[in-house]
């Protein structure tokens, strides 16, 4: 197993960066199940609000398994975690909204730390060759 730090040149794309981090195994499996790997390996740029494995584990029992069996619903949730363009934490302001790839808006909070629809950003600005990852502590769900 490699313990290579993130390269200064950000040679890895969002998917490879997430795989290498080792704390996004559920997210990576979900991206694969939803058929979004090629999209997130494309030129982008993308901003991904990436829930940790613990965030997925906090969902009600059976939720992840149900989503993995329903690629369309899974894709709708995953694309709600992605914004077109590269948005660094310094670009965020309290109350700003951003339209996700899903088509629905998310709301950013910057009071008492940065939040996305109430999920806390626990690590910001992990750069990749085709965008940036902000690690969040909860799975955010699009409006129904």
**pLDDT tens-place string over residues 19-54:** 999 999 999 999 999 999 999 999 999 999 999 999
What distance in Å separates the CA atoms of residue 94 and residue 119, rounded to the nearest whole number?
14
Instruction: Please check whether residue 139 is in contact with residue 66, taking contact to mean a CB–CB distance below 8 angstroms.
Output: no
Q: For the whole model, what pTM was predicted? A: 0.90
Mean of the per-residue pLDDT values of the chain: 91
pLDDT score of 8? 47
Q: Judge whether 143 lies within some domain.
A: no
Between 2 and 39, name the one with better pLDDT: 39
Q: Judge whether 89 lies within some domain.
A: yes
What distance in Å separates the CA atoms of residue 43 and residue 13, rounded to the nearest whole number?
9
| Phi-psi map region of 102: left, alpha, beta (phi>0 left; psi -120 to 50 alpha) | alpha
Q: Judge whether 107 lies within some domain.
A: yes
Q: Judge whether 88 lies within some domain.
A: yes
Instruction: Please check whether residue 13 is in contact with residue 128, taking contact to mean a CB–CB distance below 8 angstroms.
Output: yes
Q: What CATH number has the domain bearing residue 95?
A: 2.30.180.10
The number of folded domains in the chain is 1
Q: In whole angstroms, how far apart are CA 5 and each of 9, 12, 22? A: 11, 11, 12
- Residue 142 — very low, low, confident or very high, per pLDDT cuts 50/70/90? very high
Q: Judge whether 4 lies within some domain.
A: no
pLDDT score of 2? 35
pLDDT score of 112? 87
Q: Judge whether 49 lies within some domain.
A: yes
pLDDT score of 10? 61
Q: Judge whether 141 lies within some domain.
A: no
Q: Judge whether 125 lies within some domain.
A: yes
> What residues make up the domain containing 97?
14-136
């Amino acid at each position: 197993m490699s313990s290579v730090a993130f390269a200064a040149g950000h040679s890895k794309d969002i998917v490879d960066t997430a795989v290498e981090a080792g704390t996004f195994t559920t997210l990576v499996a979900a991206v694969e199940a939803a058929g979004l790997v090629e999209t997130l390996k494309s030129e982008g740029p993308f901003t991904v609000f990436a829930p940790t494995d613990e965030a997925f584990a906090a969902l009600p029992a059976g939720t992840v398994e149900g989503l993995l069996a329903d690629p369309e619903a899974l894709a709708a949730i995953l694309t709600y975690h992605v914004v077109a363009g590269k948005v660094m934490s310094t670009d965020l302001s309290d109350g700003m909204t951003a339209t996700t790839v899903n088509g629905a808006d998310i709301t950013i909070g910057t009071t008492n730390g940065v939040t996305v629809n109430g999920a806390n950003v626990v690590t910001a600005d992990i750069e990749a060759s085709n965008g940036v990852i902000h690690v969040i502590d909860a799975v955010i769900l699009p409006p129904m």
